[in-house]
A = this chain, B = another copy of it.
Amino acid sequence: MQNANVSDKTIGRLSTYRRLLLYRFGTAGQSHIYSYQIAGLAGVTAAQVRRDLMVVGYSGSPNKGYRVEDLVGSIGEFLDRPEGQNVGLIGIGNLGRAILTYFSGRRPKLTIVAAFDSAPDKINRTIHGCRCYAVEEFPAVAARENITVGIITTPADAAQRVAETLVECGVRGILNFAPVALKLPPGVHCEDIDMTMALEKVAYFARKLARD
């Protein structure tokens, strides 16, 4: 029951806390951490951290704080499927390759097992350990490999059609890098990332702020 109706934002913060703990403290040998320390790193309040961590059912000691290793484990039990989840990426252009480069081999519980494209010269290859298929093969490959998460890195004009194929094949979570608003039925969770927009915004404000 504790999992019911956990907000989007809480899930995002739990993911952030785990990574902060793994990368900042994993090698530094610090065994315990206080909520205010996590809060400082994540840019939220200590009360927020404590509220979020109640969701995963792990509470630290008032004196020593949270045990880092246990906390990472508890967040993992909450966020991850124990057997892992398989991800399919659609669109093997510049962006798709970049995303494959970034995610390959990073998350044992979340693996890009197949990539798809419509260009014949991109299929039947292996990129960063990931096998590439024709887009038409998605239904068969998704069923065989149990793909439940999709990453869309196609051009804008192909993204909606691809998203519909994913949903028809049972995918309920989509990470969309195409600069277009996908129209999706209820019961599908989509996160949009637009790196070019972010860079253009930053550049615009850099210019404006330098003038001020």
Contacts and interface: CB of A to CB of B under 8 A. Distances in A.
A151 B202 CA distance: 10
A207 interface: yes
A161 interface: no
Interface in A69-126: 79-81, 85, 87, 94-95, 97-99, 101-103, 106-107, 110
A100 to B, nearest CB: 8
Contacts of A41: 156, 180-181
A155 interface: yes
Contacts of A200: 11, 15, 79, 107, 110
A1 interface: no
A202 B72 CA distance: 19
Interface stretch (A60-68, A130-138, A165-173): A165-173
A196 interface: yes
Given A24-B156, A157-B23, A196-B15, A191 B201 contact: yes
A16 interface: yes
A198 B175 contact: yes
A143 interface: no
Contact of A110 (B8, B11, B110, B203): B203
A87 B203 CA distance: 9
A29 interface: no
A20 B178 CA distance: 10
Given A79-B204, A106-B196, A202-B173, A24 B85 contact: no
B175 A202 contact: yes
Contacts of A203: 79-81, 85, 87, 110, 148-149, 173
Interface in A2-55: 3, 8, 11-12, 15-16, 19-20, 23-24, 41-44
Contacts of A193: 193, 195, 198
Q: Which 6 A-B pairs have the closest CB atoms?
A: A43-B181, A173-B206, A189-B205, A98-B98, A173-B202, A172-B209
